[in-house]
Structures are given as C-alpha cells and as structure tokens.
C-alpha cells in the first residue's frame, strides 16, 4: 500500500512539473520536446495496449524528425505535423489510458494545432 502511495505521489509530481513546463510562453520554443516528454510519461505508465505503444513510439520519432528539420535547415513540414496531430488525437481517444493522460494528449493536440496556425510568429 505504501508503494502504491509513493507511485501516486510521483505521478502527481509529474503532472505538476508538466504544468510548470507550460507556464508562460517559453514552452513554445520546445513544444516538440515537451510533447515527446509527455509521450514518454504515458508510454512508461504501461496502460496502453501494444498497438497504442507502437503508435506512441512512431509519434515520438516523427516529433524528433520535425524538430531536427526545423533546427538543421529551418524547414517546416506541415504534412508530418498533421500526421503527429492525427496520431495524438487517436491516442487521446484510447479508453485504456488514464483519463488524466488522455487530457494531457488532448492538450498537446491543442498546442500543436496552435503551433501549426502561428509557427511563423512563435520564435520572432
């Protein structure tokens, strides 16, 4: 029982830390990295089915590619971003995930859609 309490407290700390990461506007410079961190957390919780875990892994790879394209050549790939958003929407609808984790994914979708609409102005 004590171990369960400790794991629950650690999860609560993670959500609190996530809220802190997204305070202010600085998160925008690291949006892909922060979404990957969220995916790592959800993947490690182990509640997703194997198929969903594969989707999460693919989405993390796509985010890494997007970030690399932006940092290395300044290229924005809207098609790949749309793929990431679609994947996150599917994951956020997976009822096997904890409701709070589904909410995190939904928030990530909102942030990535905001990025898609305003990316030209985010880093200036």
Mean pLDDT by 10 residues, the chain (124 residues): 52 86 87 93 79 90 91 88 95 90 96 92 64
Q: Are 23 and 100 in contact (CB under 8 A)?
A: no
pTM value? 0.84
Specify the pLDDT at position 58. Answer: 93
CA angle 92, 94, 95 (to 5 degrees): 120
Q: How many residues does the chain have?
A: 124
Helix (H, G, I), strand (E, B) or coil at 49: coil
Q: Are 69 and 77 in contact (CB under 8 A)?
A: yes
Specify the pLDDT at position 124. Answer: 43
Helix (H) or strand (E) holding 35: helix 31-45
Specify the pLDDT at position 10. Answer: 57
What is the Cα–Cα distance from 11 to 48, expressed in whole angstroms?
16
């Amino acid at each position: 029982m004590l171990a369960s309490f400790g794991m629950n407290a650690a999860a609560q700390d993670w959500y609190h830390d996530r809220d802190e990461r997204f305070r202010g506007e600085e998160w925008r410079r690291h949006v892909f990295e922060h979404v990957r961190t969220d995916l790592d957390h959800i993947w490690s919780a182990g509640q997703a089915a194997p198929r969903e875990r594969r989707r999460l892994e693919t989405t993390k790879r796509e985010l890494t590619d997007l970030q690399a394209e932006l940092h290395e050549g300044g290229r924005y790939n809207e098609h790949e971003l749309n793929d990431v958003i679609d994947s996150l929407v599917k994951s956020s609808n997976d009822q096997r995930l904890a409701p709070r984790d589904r909410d995190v994914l939904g928030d990530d979708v909102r942030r990535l859609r905001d990025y898609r609409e305003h990316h030209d102005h985010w880093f200036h």
